[in-house]
A = this chain, B = another copy of it.
């Protein structure tokens, strides 16, 4: 569902190749949606068949040939419709799916030392992610200068704030959990 709409959203910024889309995806949307290269090509193919895209082969010398995709009117329409949906499915879209939390749930079956280690590693990862976010914020700021479209960058920043809040909450929770685990 959302891989398709992510690709539509990116192509709305301008025509791109599958390769470029794959890169753009993993740079900008990766935090809240992940996609493999092979999947991107498959979906582009399907989307072209649905009439949301058209593609054109560009012959290059010195470099491999490439296929440039562009959004059609019907693709743009689909994007706008998806963005404007009444969103009855908000509950679905905010669902957590975490094998890590499942391990925590069943951690009573292993020894407390191991469980504590696992939680410390989680805390560490949150801290590292938070540290890495500074760079993301720099890159959004750079794009802001180039794009100079406040209507767009405003929302980019809001999603960035989410990731910050998410890791911060994870870290604070891990601290609480570690205190509980050590206190008994």
Contact = CB atoms under 8 A, between A and B. Distances in A.
Nearest to A2: B99
A26 interface: no
Nearest to A1: B99
B96 A31 contact: yes
Interface in A82-110: 82-84, 87, 89-110
Nearest to A153: B108
Interface in A117-166: 118, 121-122, 125-126, 149-159, 161-163, 165-166
Interface bin, chain A:
35 or more
Interface stretch (A37-45, A47-55, A173-181): A173-181
A12 interface: yes
A5 B99 CA distance: 9
Given A94-B170, A102-B6, A176 B154 contact: no
A110 B86 CA distance: 13
Contacts of A104: 155, 158-159, 162
A41 to B, nearest CB: 20
A180 to B, nearest CB: 6
A1 B149 CA distance: 43
Nearest to A160: B105
Contacts of A9: 102, 105-106, 109
Closest 6 CB pairs of A and B: A169-B169, A108-B152, A93-B100, A32-B101, A93-B99, A9-B106
